[in-house]
Structure 1
Amino acid sequence: MERHPDKQTLRVSGERTDGPARSWAADVGPGLVTLGSDNDPSGIATYTLAGAWYRYDLLWVCVLSYPSMVALQLISARVASITGKGLTDNMRQHYAPVFFYFAVARFLLANTFNIAVDILAMGTAVRAVAGGPVALLSLLCGVASLILQWCVPYARYARIVQWLTLGMFAYAGVILLLHVPWHAVAIRAFIPRMVWTKDYTTMVLALFGTTMSPYLLFSQAEQEVEERQEHPSPGSSAGSNEELRKLRRDTLLRTALSNAVALAIMLASAAAFQFSHYAPGEPVALERVLEPLAHGFAPQVLGLALLGSALLALPPLAGSAAQAAASSFDWRHGEKRNTRIAVLLVAITAIGTAAAVALAMSGIDPVTALYWSALVNGMTITPVLALLVLLSSKREAVGDLVAHWSLRVLCWLATIATGAVLIVHYVVEFV
């Protein structure tokens, strides 16, 4: 589906409107932008660790989660399109304050941490390309990202930054160069293998957290609201057949592209480390996966991919957190609300930058920090998914256009799966 920036952003065609960009949400339509924004440095690190530690055993997460991921995105966009409000605004209106404020707190904490580790990854990536202290480079990267979000429309800089993510295609090249047991891959991709240990369930939670990308659900919903406000269609009703077809087509393609990249990273990592025998929790050098193809330039290729994906992912991360915080104050839509959200975006990104510098100065391994970020998302996603599915079936919220039962079933499967793995994780850890 074609996305339209808000009044403060640059049109894709190149026509500039008044005011600074202050772009808070990414255009996540099909293409290289999708590959970067859906697979940020946290995702790249987590998929690599999954392949290095467990070889092909966790491929099923990316494959079997695809239908539920599509359903979740369809429901989030549908609720926003019908109600004309974002998901956090809807939660404020239809849920008890305790549930609403839980969702807001979850977004502020998880997204800010995600921003911090992505900025840390940017600093590490720049060091691989040009050298220098990671703490200083992380600070400069955070400031640069903030300037881009404030001054340059996302549509303009994404068209340039997206080419940095071409490095992700190197994982496909690695797969072609190395021996891959495709028979085992086919089995592991469709038949789940669960090992009831702390390390294994931790990795499954991290994969859930980075694959389902909860911040994208909320930022996509906000974009649906802005698109309807900016380009109202008097002759068509919300949820028309034409709109739904476009939404389904875009979501199916975008999610397929995102999951294909995730699978390629896991496959390449498993093939590259098949004789290394990394134990769960053991440090892994991410650039080693690309050495069969890029050889001595592997750190630079990985660095450019991390840099590009972080720049593409930071706007929706900061934007969804800013929108969640704005919903707490019940600000009405309009120019004043947009200005306040822009201020919140600056504050959240600044806090994330400061946290990235602190992480760099403390000497924490960037790969470990990226993995922790995915784990935080995975351990807090279940209640948010449950609230989203329940919201889509509330007639007082969406009227007669409640989500189809098949979509709700797929979403409940994802919710139950994440909740069950979380419970098992705590059982095996403390019992």
Structure 2
Amino acid sequence: MNRHPDKQALRANDKRTERPARSWAADVGPGLTTLGTDNDPSGIATYTLAGAWFRYDLLWVCILSYPSMIALQLISARVASITGKGLTDNMREHYAPVFFYFGVARFLIANTFNIAVDVLAMGTALHAVVGGSAALLSLLCGAASLVLQWCVPYARYARAVQWLVLGMFGYVGVVLWLQVPWHTVAIRAFVPRLVWTKDYTTMLLALLGTTISPYLLFSQAEQEVEERKEGAPSASSARSDQELRKLRKDTALRTALSNAVALAIMIASAAVFEFSHPSPGERVRLEHVLEPFAHGFAPQVLALAVIGSALLALPPLAGSAAQAAASAFDWQRGERRNTRIAFLLVVITAIGIALAVAMTMFSIDPVIALYWSAVVNGMTMTPVLVLLVLLSSKRAAVGDLVAHWSLRMLCWLATIVTGAALVAHFIVEWV
């Protein structure tokens, strides 16, 4: 998943004269904000189920994907910095319409579903703490998120909301509290154990979909465009060598933080469910993982982490989908485009809220819904990654400043792995 360096965005967003309908998709701050955005409720549920159902067998995904995750983020930022355009704008300009519109449709469908399940997760988590109607609480949580997005610049409210995701460190407490077979963890973290079953390949797709999340890559590119427009140091040209070094360092550190928490969730879940051993597809209570550390306050700790991460993730989810739609309509950048994007953002978020309320009324298990949101991301991301990597080496787009071969190699590796996982899933599904 993407780690968004904030830089000049904090300064620009705090101006009272700015319209709140800016490209919030690009404004993701450092530290806890990055942690919450990367590990949204869908990620928390997926990592928990991976540990509960498959124990330590899938730890390698977070470790071995780390270099490719960094490379994908750096390429996204590089393309936008050189061209001064977002990834969807570049794809519209350099690819056949069928590929471009596939990418747009993918964002609208996958992101809207992700918004819906994140809102559902907030309502369900709050229901577990205070009681009441889960449907009404989901509606109120979604409305609160929409009001915050419209009235408060993202960077400003993220500085307050980000403290809620401290609840995620409860998983670290569980790992330190329980007796964990560290020799098994070390082996499984670096040596993949492949099992050719439908449940395993589906979970692999879900982990890839929530770890390498395309919407955050596109948000990173939009941030580069906004920085150029706001007169940041890179506004007149591509990033300098010093800026690129800082970007690489920030990306590596924030990716490491996010993946470390993901590993903690998986290890804690595997240790907690070691003896009960739920089988794939069996229902798992997310708060149960935190009980060895938080005891009777486990639902409250989980609620803080879920609500905080959802509030941080919803703006870039809606924003990247709105930006993709804006590129599909070929709207020129300016105040009129910003206003239209703001309208699309509200519409997309409202649809997600309506879907969340509908799911509560039909008694859909929120944990399974969160998991399948990650699966949808994993199933639809491979073509988008292919277009991104090809774009980074397309001289018609970036001229002579094509991405370094090592970055392209790591990105192709991630693309091939996601594609292979998808093919394997369909083979075991139908054969």
Q: Scaled by the length of structure 1, what TM-score is found?
A: 0.97
Q: What do residues 256-305 of structure 1 show as CA deviations (whole Å, max 9, x unaligned)?
A: 11111100100111111111111001000000000001111101110111
**Map of 1:5-404 to 2, 5 A cutoff?**
5=9, 10-11=13-14, 15-20=15-20, 24-25=24-25, 27-233=27-233, 237-404=237-404
Q: What do residues 367-422 of structure 1 show as CA deviations (whole Å, max 9, x unaligned)?
A: 00000000000000100000000000000100010000000000000000010111
CA distance in 1, matches of 2:89, 2:309: 29
8 Å CA contact 1:76–1:87 kept in 2: the answer is yes
Specify the SS of the correspondent of 1:283: coil
CA distance in 2, matches of 1:113, 1:261: 24
- Matched to 1:421, the amino acid is A
- Matched to 2:399, the amino acid is G
CA distance in 2, matches of 1:268, 1:281: 19
Specify the SS of the correspondent of 2:19: coil
CA positional deviation for 1:251: 0.9
Runs of 5+ unmatched residues, structure 1 = none
Percent of aligned positions that are identical: 79
**Residue 58 to residue 234, structure 1, CA distance change in 2 (3 Å):** closer
Runs of 5+ unmatched residues, structure 2 = none
**Residue 187 to residue 430, structure 1, CA distance change in 2 (3 Å):** same
2:7 pairs with one of 3, 7, 17: 3
- 207-216 vs 244-253, which deviates more? 244-253
Specify the SS of the correspondent of 1:25: helix
4+ residue runs over 2 A deviation? 1-7, 15-24, 26-30, 232-237
8 Å CA contact 2:228–2:234 kept in 1: the answer is no
CA distance in 1, matches of 2:91, 2:169: 39
Residues paired across the two proteins, number: 427
Q: What do residues 189-208 of structure 1 show as CA deviations (whole Å, max 9, x unaligned)?
A: 00011000000000000000
CA distance in 1, matches of 2:366, 2:400: 48
- Matched to 1:3, the amino acid is K
CA positional deviation for 1:211: 0.4
CA distance in 1, matches of 2:66, 2:233: 31
Specify the SS of the correspondent of 1:5: helix
- Matched to 2:9, the amino acid is P
- Matched to 1:307, the amino acid is I
CA distance in 1, matches of 2:20, 2:224: 21
8 Å CA contact 2:117–2:370 kept in 1: the answer is yes
CA distance in 1, matches of 2:237, 2:336: 28
**Residue 379 to residue 235, structure 1, CA distance change in 2 (3 Å):** closer
Q: What do residues 335-364 of structure 1 show as CA deviations (whole Å, max 9, x unaligned)?
A: 111111000000000000001011111100
CA distance in 1, matches of 2:410, 2:133: 46
- Matched to 1:98, the amino acid is V
CA distance in 2, matches of 1:193, 1:19: 50
CA positional deviation for 1:233: 4.0
CA distance in 2, matches of 1:27, 1:275: 43
**Residue 93 to residue 103, structure 1, CA distance change in 2 (3 Å):** same
Specify the SS of the correspondent of 2:30: coil
- Matched to 1:286, the amino acid is L
**Residue 89 to residue 361, structure 1, CA distance change in 2 (3 Å):** same
CA positional deviation for 1:129: 2.2
8 Å CA contact 1:26–1:154 kept in 2: the answer is no
- Matched to 1:10, the amino acid is N
